[in-house]
């Protein structure tokens, strides 16, 4: 005859206990959550216009930097990007993947208030929703529509 014996479940492990803090001692602060590694690329040295200004070669280099950083789990953030560079990033479709830090100074170098940012204008590139119209075709010569038998339109 077989006997079956149940074993009691193992007790759950208890968390390690620390000695209570002496009275009057403030509780220890909660540990900070780990931050995502971040690479800030300062583009303030690039002129807004003229020789050495941002062009597609700069956008290409920034896109390649972003891809290489993403492979290592690092986030790329651009700072001090000029208006033309921001527009070029948007035109290339990279405004969403290469975020630009907001400027701390509400006035630009000329002392004027900032213009409305065209990147915030809405969906699509500079607020324009992309769309296409289908091309109309002419019927081939000699091709006729065939109606259903009993169709009252014929």
122's tokens: 């809405």
Please report, to the nearest 10 degrees, the dihedral formed by the alpha carbons of residues 63, 68, 74, 79 taken in order.
-30
Q: What H or E segment, with its residue span, contains residue 57? A: helix 56-71
Alpha-carbon dihedral sign for residues 63, 69, 72, 73: negative
Place of tokens 């070029």: 88
Radius of gyration of the chain (CA): 32
Q: What is the mean pLDDT of each run of 10 residues along the chain (154 residues)?
A: 60 62 75 81 83 85 93 91 89 88 58 48 46 66 65 62
What pLDDT, on the 0 to 100 scale, is given for residue 67? 93
Place of tokens 């800030």: 40
What pLDDT, on the 0 to 100 scale, is given for residue 6? 64
Residue 146 CA, chain-centre distance (Å), reads: 53
Residues 6+ apart with CB under 8 A from 89: 59, 62, 81, 95, 98, 100
Please report, to the nearest 10 degrees, the dihedral formed by the alpha carbons of residues 43, 58, 124, 83 taken in order.
40
Cα distance between residue 75 and residue 37, in whole Å: 6
Asked whether 36 and 77 are in contact (CB, 8 A), the reply is no
What pLDDT, on the 0 to 100 scale, is given for residue 97? 87
What pLDDT, on the 0 to 100 scale, is given for residue 65? 93
């Amino acid at each position: 005859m077989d006997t079956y014996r149940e074993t009691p479940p193992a007790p759950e492990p208890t968390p390690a206990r620390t000695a209570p803090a002496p009275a009057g001692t403030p509780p220890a602060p909660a540990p900070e959550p780990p931050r995502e590694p971040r690479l800030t690329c300062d583009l303030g040295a690039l002129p807004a216009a003229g020789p050495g200004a941002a062009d597609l070669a700069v956008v290409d280099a920034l896109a390649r930097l972003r891809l290489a950083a993403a492979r290592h789990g690092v986030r790329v953030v651009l700072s001090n990007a000029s208006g033309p560079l921001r527009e070029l990033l948007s035109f290339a479709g990279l405004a969403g993947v290469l975020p630009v830090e907001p400027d701390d100074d509400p006035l630009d170098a000329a002392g004027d208030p900032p213009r409305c940012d065209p990147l915030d204008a809405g969906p699509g590139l500079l607020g324009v929703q992309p769309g296409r119209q289908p091309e109309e075709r002419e019927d081939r010569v000699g091709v006729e529509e065939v109606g259903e038998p009993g169709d009252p339109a014929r």
